[in-house]
Structure 1
């Protein structure tokens, strides 16, 4: 077996499906299927049991995957150290961010490309924290109260939250708290700051709908389903949403972080992207910290998406 074979077996073992392994390895489903068959035929042993909902490693498969994992850790560590010796800001930089921050990031991508034309950006939008230790990404832009201790970076800004609803929602319900419903988050986002606040402050009987993403939370509020606790950078950008009167205890603490792995922070292309983004995203601080709403109100205009 060669290293590519080991990587494929490890990816299937970790992902549990051929499609998941294909996404991780950036190849097609059919390629993974064909290569696994070739590997098993060459070894004369079955590495995975096939089930309707995925693949489960056999004893032989677990042995190969464990060996591959040890090789992978050493290989990626070597790759990070060698990348750290790169002195020229060129090559690929993989950035991961969330579905709520991606629009903010994209506003600054043209200027970043103009400043560093030899850097190729690959941007992944996912609410799951990419493993920077395994080089699933080079840079992470994350809203979180505290980043993982294994990563280094900069705190760009605090993130303010407020309660939002459609323009007529409160008047349609005469402001009676007993009639007001909330839009909640499902278990996939239960550990987020909004998910924790909902669990601690809102009873299940008060929740009229649960969703699995913050953009869906915003859309449900806009449709008049109920009240939604949103980060201000998401709620204030939608001119058709109104801030509801302040709700006790909604001083939710979070921040926007720009992160990388310590082995990569001195790599020229990573440092160039980090230096650019920390300034670019800091220019969004008024929006992130909920001050654009107050500044706009003081000037007597409605807050909405900025013009291009």
Structure 2
């Protein structure tokens, strides 16, 4: 009897596999603890306990981070498979929902939230009062297959083919000057550029094409910051027309710039699009007249 209990006590739970998976993906105990909301000592004790029960080291503790050993890789592969099975089962069960109620997590950028989503959320709440939108703004692409989010509203030239999606339109860009400036002042005034770590190189290329690099007097690391500083009179900025067109404090200085055109996609995992609350959000955004109108802003030059 003692032998059987000891064997049972040494077996790993799903939380043990999750710990191994999190440490491997985050690369360190500190990052894994932060991602799971645990303290560093708790995460350390958990990993030490797992290794003690198995009698094997799962990670090499290197200066650059935690790297799975060969034994750790075996557990990591199993953990990834278990997670995939768990998420698949959850998606299938959630797909059986019939009423639009509950929480829906939507990931998008801060600029799209401000320019397209925030103005229509009151109407959505009026139509679907039992659905709570949990909006996550980030320039990081969330993994919908891992349930980092239910829906993504993202600019993309090549959306994930494993996701169900609909192209809502094209995001256009143009240069805008502060409304306190005259057109003549804008010809020589300072330009707001993007920080060097901006992932979209086209912003830098357009400044070169328009010979504006030498006039950059301020750099920011987000489109929303560019929009806000331009409205404050700090310089000319390259902005999406859905955000800047017709806004108080800004005047369009150029025609739309075709090199900046980017498709806007509404994406969801195929299993989740059958869920009533997710479908409610998708249908509302697909048919929303305000979103379509703002995407067309500035198109007719």
TM-score bin, normalised by smaller chain: 0.7 to 0.9
In structure 2, relative to structure 1, the CA distance for the partners of 1:29 and 1:250 (3 Å cut) is farther
Confirm or deny that 1:286 pairs with 2:298: no
Q: By how many angstroms is 1:73 displaced?
A: 2.0
Within the candidate set 222, 247, 257, 1:213 is matched to 222
Equivalent pairs, count: 288
Q: Does residue 103 of structure 2 align to residue 95 of structure 1?
A: no
Tell me which moved more, 197-206 or 94-103.
197-206
Q: Give the alignment of 1:102-117 within 5 angstroms.
A: 102-103=113-114, 104-117=116-129
Is the Cα contact below 8 Å between 2:190 and 2:234 reproduced in 1?
A: no
**Alignment check: 8 A CA contact 2:180 2:249 kept:** no
CA distance in 2, matches of 1:161, 1:68: 44
2:274 corresponds to 1:266: yes
Paired with 2:186 and 2:100, the residues of 1 have a C-alpha distance of 59
Alignment partners' CA distance in 1, 2:123 and 2:27 = 40
> 1:181, 1:206 within 8 Å by CA — same for their partners in 2?
yes
Aligned residue in 2 for 1:184: 194
Give CA deviations for 1:263-283 in whole Å, capped at 9, x if unaligned: 221122211221122233x42
Question: Counterparts of 2:208 and 2:18 in 1: how far apart (Å)?
Answer: 40
**Is 1:36 paired with 2:47?**
yes
Is the contact made by 2:172 and 2:299 (CA closer than 8 Å) also made in structure 1? no
TM-score by length of 2: 0.78
Shift of 1:32: 3.7
**Residue of structure 2 aligned with 1:136, choices 148, 152, 157:** 148
Q: Is the CA contact (8 Å cut-off) linking 1:189 and 1:195 kept in structure 2?
A: no
1:82 matched residue in structure 2: 93
Matching residue of 2:71: 60
Offset at residue 49 of structure 1 (A): 4.3
Decide whether aligned partners of structure 1 residues 7 and 157 sit closer, same or farther in structure 2, where only a CA change above 3 A counts. Answer: same
Over aligned residues, Cα RMSD in angstroms?
Answer: 3.3
| Bigger mean CA deviation after superposition, 97-106 or 223-232 | 223-232
User: Could you say which structure has the larger radius of gyration?
Assistant: 2
Distance in 2 (alpha carbons) for counterparts of 1:166 and 1:39: 60
Unaligned runs of 5+ in 1: 295-308
| Residues 183, 226 of structure 1: 8 Å contact kept | no
Aligned pairs for 1:43-54 (under 5 A) are 43-50=54-61, 54=65
